[in-house]
Structure 1
Amino acid sequence: MPPDAPTVPAARRLRRAAAPLSALATAGAAWAVVAAVDPSAPGSPYPACPLPALTGWDCPGCGGLRAAHALAHGLPGQALAANALVVVAALVLGAALLYWLVAELSGRPVPPPAVPAACRWALAAAVAAFTVLRNLPLFPPGA
């Protein structure tokens, strides 16, 4: 650690790590439930998305549970086929939570993320493009 780095007592670091540890535990518990209960199985307790029933279109989150279930079982190709956006979001969220935990345990201050407006607009455009492209008949199921 550099000599000018702030030092934080170990007990205080552990208290500061409670929030990221709680977030990781919650995400892990949710991941375990999705891993244990197959959303594609008949009689699945997960509710169906109403958008395809009403419009015939898949929303940006449709297939997200199937993607998470496939990832939890080590099937990245199947997860990407179910919903690539959810796969990327899960990886980014997992990395962010781990970074937050490591930063808190090391005693480094964690500044709140400053996301420029252009990045927020680009993300919104990417989600909109994903929604439109996944509903075009470019790649029919089973092709």
Structure 2
Amino acid sequence: MSRDNHRVDASPAQDAARPPAGPPPHAPAFAPAPAPVTARAPASRSRRLATPVGVLAVVLGAFAYVGTVDPNEPGHYPACPLLQLTGILCPGCGGLRSAHAVAHGDLATALGSNAFAVVGYAVFAVVWVLWTVRASRGQRLRITLAPVYWWGLGVLLLIFAVVRNLPFGSALAP
């Protein structure tokens, strides 16, 4: 018997470390060559600003609609399911009335309808301006928040929802 067909000195660990002969069973017999990497030309300023401007157009359109169709008149918008079923105000209750008041420039009424929503509108405005400035410079906007901030926001929403349903927090109710 030749030495190639019969090995006495090989241990199982050496056999396991040795790569199998031929292509792996799950790999195709022929793999196409990777596509060449092509350099992209930098996008024009108008192309970079298209997405932030489009988002602003949608938001302004939504505010214009809510500003035109009054949520204070019954029948225009569906009622909050939680409020309808349980009588409990959710954190979003009054958000449409708040948006209506903001669209009409009445900040006091907006805060009275849903203060948390007004803060959200302000945060959106700041983030949108930051996004637009960075996009005009050709930079990406990447906002990453640690989980503790998301949990903190959830706790604030929960506290807001509980307090606005208690007698002493009726000023937060719409």
User: Which bracket does the TM-score occupy, shorter chain normalised?
Assistant: 0.7 to 0.9
The question of 1:122 aligning with 2:158 is answered no
The question of 1:95 aligning with 2:87 is answered no
Match of 2:47 among 5, 15, 21: 15
Alignment match, 2:72: 40
The runs of 5 or more residues in structure 1 that have no matched partner are 1-7
Alignment match, 2:166: 136
- Aligned residue pair count: 132
User: Contact 2:164–2:170 (CA<8 Å) still a contact in 1?
Assistant: no
Deviation at residue 31 of structure 1 after TM alignment:
0.7
- TM-score (norm: length of structure 2): 0.70
Match of 1:112 among 124, 127, 142: 142
Q: Secondary structure at the match of 1:138?
A: helix
User: Contact 2:91–2:161 (CA<8 Å) still a contact in 1?
Assistant: yes
Indicate the structure (1 or 2) with the bigger Cα radius of gyration. Answer: 2
Q: Which has the higher contact order (CA 8 A, sep 6+)?
A: 1
State the distance in 2 between where 1:83 and 1:40 align. Answer: 13
Q: Write the letter of the residue equivalent to 2:70.
A: D
Alignment match, 2:105: 74
Question: How well do the aligned residues superpose, as a CA RMSD in angstroms?
Answer: 1.9
Between the aligned residues of both structures, percent identity stands at 44
State the distance in 1 between where 2:44 and 2:117 align. Answer: 35
- TM-score (norm: length of structure 1): 0.85
Alignment match, 2:90: 59
Question: By percentage of residues, which structure has more helix?
Answer: 1
Deviation at residue 42 of structure 1 after TM alignment:
3.5
